[in-house]
Structure 1
Amino acid sequence: MDKINLLIIVTVISLFISLFLALFLLTVKTKHKTSNALFALYLIITAIDASEPLLSLLSDRPSNLGMLRNTLAFLQIPVFYLYVVSVCYSDFKFKPKYILHLLPFLIVNVVLLPHFYTVDAASKISFIMNRQNMIELQFTHVFFHIQIVVYLIAVFMLLRKAKKLYLENYAGTNINSYNWLFQFTVVLTILYLIVVFKNIFKFSDYSFISEYIKIGILVFQLFICCWYLFKALNNPGLFRNIDSKLKLVSDINLEEKNNKPETTNEKEYNEELLKLKKYMAEEKPFLNPSLTIQNVSENIGMPTRALSVLINHHLGQHFYDFVNTYRIENAMDILKDASKSKVTILEILYEVGFNSKSSFNTAFKKHTGNTPTAYRKSL
């Protein structure tokens, strides 16, 4: 099988899976329609970008439509960024400012307008044949890679902040969503690095090497699509968002320092802490797997901001870890109880407020140094 046939086969498979997943995301019944639509759009743009080997079979002459297809790559990473924002924040809505993400795509097409879009076919062929000397294509090439770097940095910063906000305000197991999104972004980063590597050869005397790398990219895209599909089908409730109006405790402290001098009332602090611990021990709200800091603040009559600072700043724990400590202590009591020796680990984790075995095992080992099974055997 020669290189051309292999490229066509891989392209067809990649297009089929990408478009199938996009259709699945657009039609599946879910509360997260916006997120699904954005990722479906990302997949469609990626599929159009990857379709070049098939389109070249129909016509290998440069055209305005073909160049427009190439420049659609400038919409890929902005759409992915908006997808991540929509996943992280429950109150995500399209705003006029998001139109700014179209600017790179528009700028590139305006740059190409005089010497490509508005010239005749012969001039288009000459433009492509002499692409190494065309300043417009050099600009497009550099601009594309700058865009990738800027957006990927923005995505990683967004995920870092969103995960911290989740840990400070929620005690569910959906932290796995952010861990998975981080992993997914790392994989996409690797993909884009391979694209950069391919483009280096594309504009060199060894352009044939970029064709082989292109096959590898298409295979890698197949892997990413299949991985995402596997996650979506096996974890339909994977993504649960946070409120974008929430602030990090570090930002709250900074605001308070700027507004007024910090006054520490040790007696008041101790009273609030005792009130919180009494509520946790007597009412056991941690048994609720979807517990939030707002739930606790409402029940003990303490402002959410003050409670967040009390736990995350004064106790030096994220709300997530604070609640999990009570859950693990409760699980340890059950494991120590000889009358409950036949209760399974799975039953225990659900009983104490977890709804994920991996999260329970991670939290238990972090608290005790042992897995639940090893802890039970050591008693």
Structure 2
Amino acid sequence: MNGLHHDSLLFNVHDLALLMAAGQYLLLAALLFSTRRPGDKSVYLLVAILVVSAVQAVDTLLIWSEPLRRALLSWDANALFVGSFSYWLQGPLLFGYVASVLYRDYRWRWNVCLHLLPALLVGALLVRHYYSLPSEAKVTAMWDQSFLWTPLMTHFITGWHLSVIGYGAASVWLIARYRRQLLEQYANVEVSERGWLLWVVWGFMLLSGWKLSVHLVGNRIGDDWSNLLGIASHYLALIFVTSLAFVSIRYTHLFAGLTAVGGAETAAFTAEQVERVRTFMERERPYLADDISLELLARRLSLPERTLSRILNHHFKMNFFEFINRYRIEEAKRLLCNPQKSDLTIMDVLAESGFSSKSTFNTIFKKQVGQTPSQYRKAMQRDR
């Protein structure tokens, strides 16, 4: 609900940008729905977000395009604000989408209905303060948009944007927690594989933040600047949905997801179990397998996953990612120091050490050793 322009044309170029954004949201939603994988709940949530965003774009166009608004008022004043419920669904849908992508056992629970209360409350308030008015009063209230500047609508618009930003912040926190859990279960983790999901979340947050800023300062900076900043929102929405098309097509099927972790770990461990872990790592060298995980290692050790995780966290003071890759770095150092292995390239070394990513190998090696693998090899050659 922003972007002031009062052209006499039915559509101007700025309106077309908003229409194109709405069209792209719907086309992307149709594409994702038609190519969804069986049982992939996250696709349905993303499709819902895209449809809601398209409804918002059309709603914005009908309210702020003067020719369209007045034509609609002449036809049926009740047609305005029909998309108002969608504004309060965007944040909860975004959070649900992120959770369903990250956790394969994500389930809707009864308390999800609580997230719908703001939409129901706004709908009730609009019925009372707008839809219950006589037709002439509705036309008067929206002919020159005076209804939009009432305290009710001001709080409504502010609250909607804060809702998206708040749910977006919760989604960022969820992604950060997921990464911590990922490091507890896997040894090969690529941070870049989660960048696309952060981009989706931050995109919605930044777009809402921009619109909120325009809404809050619009009456203080004059019509010209208010119009300009509001119109910029249309183009930002178009740019964002275009980037979403690329991101969704390329990355949305990357994640297999984790199983959601329950409450705090309470599994105790014994000195014998600690020694079993240490001995097994030295003799069997499971870290050389690039697909090693907490589940696989626990199975080979005949230990519950939670017990093994607790041993790593509380005895060795490391998560699974750090624990496995510390052994891998020692193996890489041994290979780099061995004159008989001097013909191995850095790629050979990282592969034989159990790494699957050069960027991960270089980052961890430099963090632990203080040098890059190439620098370390040269230093060892000089010392011989």
Quote the Cα distance in structure 1 between the aligned partners of 2:40 and 2:315.
Answer: 39
C-alpha distance in structure 1 between counterparts of 2:348 and 2:240, whole Å: 34
Map 1:29-108; keep pairs closer than 5 Å: 29-30=36-37, 33-52=40-59, 55=62, 56=65, 58-60=68-70, 61-62=72-73, 63-108=77-122
CA separation of 1:227 and 1:336: change in aligned 2, threshold 3 A:
farther
What SS is found at the alignment partner of 1:67?
Answer: coil
Partner Cα distance (1:67, 1:306) in 2: 55
Q: CA deviation at 1:176?
A: 4.1
Counterpart contact for 1:334–1:348, Cα < 8 Å = yes
Partner of 2:293 in structure 1?
292
Q: TM-score, normalised by structure 2?
A: 0.80
Match of 1:138 among 150, 154, 157: 154
Normalised to the residue count of structure 1, the TM-score between the two structures is 0.81
Q: State the partner residue of 2:357.
A: 356
- Offset of 1:104 from its aligned partner? 1.3
Counterpart position of 2:27: 20
Q: One-letter code of the match for 1:195?
A: K
Residue 80 of structure 1, CA deviation: 0.3
| CA shift digits 1:312-353 (9 cap, x unpaired) | 122211111111222333333344455555554445444444
Give CA-to-partner distance per residue, 1:51-104, whole Å, 9 cap, x none.
346544644345433302244111111110111111221101233322322221
CA distance in 1, matches of 2:177, 2:149: 43
Most deviating of 297-306 and 355-364? 355-364
Which ranges in structure 2 are unaligned for 5 or more consecutive residues?
1-5
Q: 1:346 to 1:201 in 2, by over 3 A?
A: same
Distance 1:375 1:366 in 2: 12
User: Are the aligned partners of 1:165 and 1:246 in contact in 2 as well (CA < 8 Å)?
Assistant: no
Aligned counterparts, 1:193-342, within 5 A: 193-202=209-218, 206-235=222-251, 238-247=254-263, 251-252=264-265, 268-269=270-271, 271-338=272-339, 340-341=341-342
Q: Is the 8 A contact 1:166 1:175 kept in 2?
A: no
Distance 1:216 1:281, change over 3 A: farther
The one of 150, 155, 163 equivalent to 1:147 is: 163
Distance in 1, matches of 2:226 and 2:141, equals: 20
SS of aligned partner of 2:108 = coil
> Which amino acid letter does the alignment assign opposite residue 27 of structure 1?
S
How far apart, CA to CA, are the structure 2 residues paired with 1:71 and 1:117? 14
Distance 1:140 1:375, change over 3 A: same
In terms of mean alpha carbon deviation, does 298-307 or 83-92 score higher? 298-307
Q: Can you list the C-alpha shifts for 1:5-49, whole angstroms capped at 9, x where unaligned?
A: 331342244234333332332233546721122122212211221
8 Å CA contact retained: 1:132, 1:203: no
Match 2:208 to one of 172, 181, 192: 192
Partner Cα separation in structure 1 for residue 332 and residue 80 of structure 2? 61
Residue-pair matches, total = 363
Q: Distance in 2 between matches of 1:311 and 1:136?
A: 54
Q: Within the alignment, does 1:164 sit opposite 2:180 as a pair?
A: yes
TM-superposed deviation, 1:107: 1.0
**Distance in 2, Cα, partners of 1:17 & 1:147:** 24
Say if 1:34 and 1:86, in contact at 8 Å, map to a contact too: yes
Equivalent in 114, 135, 138 of residue 124 of structure 1: 138
RMSD: 3.2
Using the aligned pairs only, state the percent identity: 26
Report how far residue 291 of structure 1 moved.
2.8
Does the CA contact (< 8 Å) of 1:202 and 1:208 recur in 2? no
Q: Conserved in 1, the CA contact under 8 Å of 2:188 and 2:291?
A: yes
* Pair 1:160–1:127, CA change in 2 (3 A): same
